[in-house]
Structure formats: C-alpha cells, structure tokens
C-alpha cells in the first residue's frame, strides 16, 4: 500500500462519472431491459460487437458540458473527479492512436477526457481517470466476465491497447491525480506490476486504485456500495451509486436521499475512508435532474459543516452503537453528527477533556455537562438547539484538550 497524496487523504469526497455508449441505451435494447447495472448492457444482453459499435455513430454528446460537471462537483463539496476514459465496452472517450473506436474518431469528433480535464484545471479541481484495464468486450483477446483465458491472447491486448492507452492518458493530458483501474480478472501479478511501474514512471504522484489487482493499489477499494463495518487499518475508498446503477438507466428511480448519502459519507470518513459518489449522465451528456438535486442538497450541508469531513482521520472504535449519530474527528476536535431530531445528546466513555462545545454550522455555543456515572463511566450531556430550517443533520463540535479522541472500554 502506498501513501496517498494529501489532496486525496484530506479531500475525502469525490465525484465518479460513468458515461459511454451504454448511456445511449439507458438500460434497454430492442425492447429488452437489463436487470443489471446499465453499463454492462452489451455483456448482459449479449449484444454482438458489430451491432453495439453502431452506437458510436449516435454518440454526439451535444449536452455534455464539462464546466457544468465540475461546478456540480465543487458545489457538492467534492474535492476530485474520476471520469470513465474507457469502460468494459471498449469505447474510448479520448483521442487514442491505439484504437479507432473512440469519441474523437466517431460522431462527436470530441475528446471528452480533454474537455473535462481542461474544465478541472480552470476550476482547480483534481482530475482522475477510470480505465478498465482487463475487460474490453470489443476485443476478443481481452478479459470478459464469465469467460476464462482459454483461447485468448490477453498479452496481445495488454501490449497493443491497454498499456499504450494508459501511456497516452498519462502523457497527453497533464497532471492526472488518480488512475482508477477496475475488474483485474485473471491478470497476473507481473501484469499488474507492469501497469504500476508504467504509471509511477510517467507520473510518480498519480494514485492507483485498489482494483489494479494483486494488492498493488495505493489504497484499498471496497466492493461497490460496501462500507467497512470497522475502522480500516489503512487508506480506502468506497465507490457508490447515487441510485442503483453506474451507467445511466432510464428505468432506475432508486435515488438515494441526501440524508442516506450523508450518513454513508460520515460513516466512511469516520472509519478513515474516502467516498466516491457516482453520477451517470444520459447518452447526450445531460445530467439527470435527480442527481443534481441530491448533490446540491449535500453541498448545502458541506458548505456549513465540511470541516467535520475534510482533513479528518479514522477514529478508534467507539464501544457503543448509537443509532442517532456518528463521530468524525481531527486534531483537537471531535465532531458529533446528529442524524435524528433530538433535544439532547447523551454520551458515555469519551475519555477526553471537553473545552468548548458548539453547533458547527453557526458557532452557536452549547452547554456540555460532564460527570462520572454511578458505574464510574465518564459521561457527556449536551443540550441541543432545534435544527435549523432545511438542515439535513446537525453537527456538534467539541474542542478537546488532547490531540486525539480517546474512547474508554465499557467497564461492565
């Protein structure tokens, strides 16, 4: 495991963007709907390559607006973007010399990676790229879920498309903060090492996600939408959907609420991780209005309470399961995220000396009574003000005398 860059370790919250030919199909092909994540539609509905390739002639991206995407991320309080440069379908959203199957050589004649990277530079947002290094359903020698290596010359694909395209992405677009690799399948240790050596030679500061395979990532990438149940002993990132699919699906209305997404963000950050939350633009590049609404709501929380997220570090395990809230922390401060409407918060077994207690969003001073219970446990009782209008969660900040938060074991 490497030591991730401070922008990533401190940034905590990023925007994943899944866009490709699959977005044109929006979950359905010739009257058949996919039951799976929509970017897998070519595989799941077994659409022949030649048929699927026709989509490229319809991929204009007329509503793709890089500045809008970057502003949406920034206003949501996100500190980086990860954009699909080539997904499992094999279609590249950049101008590659190693494939004719790209957005620059078909209908749009646009290099969307360049457009988004330039917008990130204009608005000072860190830029990362998703690249599917093993699966490529447009090339019979690449991996494909459900098919073994028999009859394939993966090394040919690896040398003729994968490595040259990774080289292009890391030499033609300026600083790339993160290369987000995916589904390593049966790539060997040696092949994963070759990717790592290439990336670190071309851009030594470029982070590599855990799905490079063979344990060679700079951090651990969890399963999709899965949050570690305990503080994880190292850097990790949770990739998550905003509904139930990565690529756009017109029939997926399972939009998560801002409250649900914030609860996930807080839990992940509390355990030392990053949250990479996805949007799936439509085939024309426009952003589903529900995604915008949810991210704007999260942004209003982050503007007032972001310091309870950014630059925080993993907390030790708190001995009790408190349904109504969660903790995050940074040097000298404990943040208590209160999910429910309550008039007071009662906590046990925090060994720290509280110096000051206030509502983070507006600095409203709060009373914190500390005492020792009859069982000898330390206890805090904090009187809470009514929630402010439109506030999703209240965050109470307790400045403590020590650098680090310490929880006491249950005396029993």
* Residues binding ligand GLC (CB under 6 A): 18, 37, 39-40, 182-183, 224, 239, 246
| Nearest distance from C-beta of residue 55 to ligand GLC, angstroms | 17
Cβ nearer to ligand GLC, comparing 22 with 326: 22
d(CA 400, CA 334): 7
Nearest approach in angstroms of CB 165 to ligand GLC is 17
**Smallest separation, CB 183 to ligand GLC (Å):** 5
Which residue's CB is nearer to ligand GLC, number 18 or number 256?
18
Q: DSSP label at 387?
A: P
Q: What is the DSSP letter of 12?
A: -
Least CB distance from residue 39 to ligand GLC, whole Å? Answer: 5
Length of the chain, in residues: 412
Q: How far is the CB of 91 from ligand GLC (least distance, A)?
A: 13
Coil, helix or strand at residue 14: strand
Q: ∠ at Cα 35 (34, 38), nearest 5°?
A: 55
CB of 18 to ligand GLC, least distance (A): 6
What residues have CB less than 8 Å from 243, skipping those under 6 apart? 249, 252, 253, 254, 255, 256, 290
DSSP code, position 147: B
Name the minimum Å distance from CB 246 to ligand GLC. Answer: 5
Cα–Cα distance for residue pair 200/194, rounded to 1 Å: 10
Considering the complex, state which of residue 93 and residue 338 has its C-beta at the smaller distance from ligand GLC.
Answer: 93
44 vs 377, beta carbon nearer ligand GLC: 44
Of the pair 39, 168, the CB lying nearest ligand GLC is at 39
Cβ-closest position to ligand GLC: 239
Nearest in space to 195 (alpha carbons), one of 133, 130, 113: 133
Neighbours of 390 (CB within 10 A): 8
| Torsion sign across C-alpha atoms 269, 271, 274, 278 | negative
Choose between 211 and 337: whose C-beta lies nearer to ligand GLC.
211
Which residue blocks in 247-335 are alpha helix, DSSP H? Answer: 258-270, 289-305
Residue 40 or 101 having the CB closest to ligand GLC = 40
């Amino acid at each position: 495991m490497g030591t991730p860059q401070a922008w990533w370790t401190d940034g905590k919250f990023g925007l994943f963007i899944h866009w490709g030919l699959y977005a044109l199909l929006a979950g359905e092909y010739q009257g058949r709907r996919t039951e799976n994540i929509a970017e897998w539609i070519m595989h799941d509905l077994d659409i022949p390559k030649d048929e699927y390739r026709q989509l490229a002639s319809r991929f204009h991206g007329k509503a793709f607006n890089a500045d809008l995407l970057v502003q949406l991320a920034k206003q949501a309080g996100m500190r980086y973007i990860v954009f699909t440069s080539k997904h499992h379908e094999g279609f590249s959203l950049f101008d590659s010399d190693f494939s004719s199957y790209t957005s620059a050589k078909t209908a749009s004649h646009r290099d969307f990676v360049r457009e988004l990277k330039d917008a990130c530079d204009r608005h000072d947002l860190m830029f990362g790229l998703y690249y599917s290094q093993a699966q490529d359903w447009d090339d019979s020698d690449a991996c494909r879920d459900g098919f073994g290596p028999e009859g394939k010359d993966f090394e040919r694909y690896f040398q003729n498309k994968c490595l040259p395209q990774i080289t292009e992405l890391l030499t033609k677009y300026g600083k790339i903060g993160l290369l987000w690799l995916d589904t390593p399948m049966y790539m060997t240790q040696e092949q994963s090492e070759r990717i790592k050596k290439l990336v670190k030679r071309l851009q030594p500061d470029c982070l590599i996600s855990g799905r490079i395979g063979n344990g060679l990532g700079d951090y651990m990438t969890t399963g999709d939408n899965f949050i570690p149940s305990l503080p994880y002993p190292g850097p990790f990132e949770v990739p998550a959907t905003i509904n139930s699919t990565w690529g756009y699906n017109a029939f997926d209305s399972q939009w998560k609420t801002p409250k649900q997404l914030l609860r996930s963000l807080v839990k992940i950050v509390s355990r030392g991780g990053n949250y990479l939350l996805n949007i799936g633009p439509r085939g024309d590049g426009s952003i589903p209005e529900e995604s915008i609404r949810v991210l704007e709501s999260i942004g209003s929380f982050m503007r007032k309470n972001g310091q309870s997220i950014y630059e925080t570090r993993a907390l030790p395990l708190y001995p009790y399961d408190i349904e109504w809230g969660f903790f995050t922390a940074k040097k000298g401060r404990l943040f208590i995220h209160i999910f429910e409407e309550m008039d007071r918060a009662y906590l046990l077994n925090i060994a720290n000396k509280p110096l000051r207690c206030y509502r983070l969003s507006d600095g409203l001073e709060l009373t914190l009574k500390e005492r020792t219970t009859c069982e000898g446990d330390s206890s805090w009782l904090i009187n809470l003000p009514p929630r402010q209008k439109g506030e999703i969660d209240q965050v109470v900040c307790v400045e403590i005398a020590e650098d680090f938060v310490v929880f006491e074991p249950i005396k029993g």
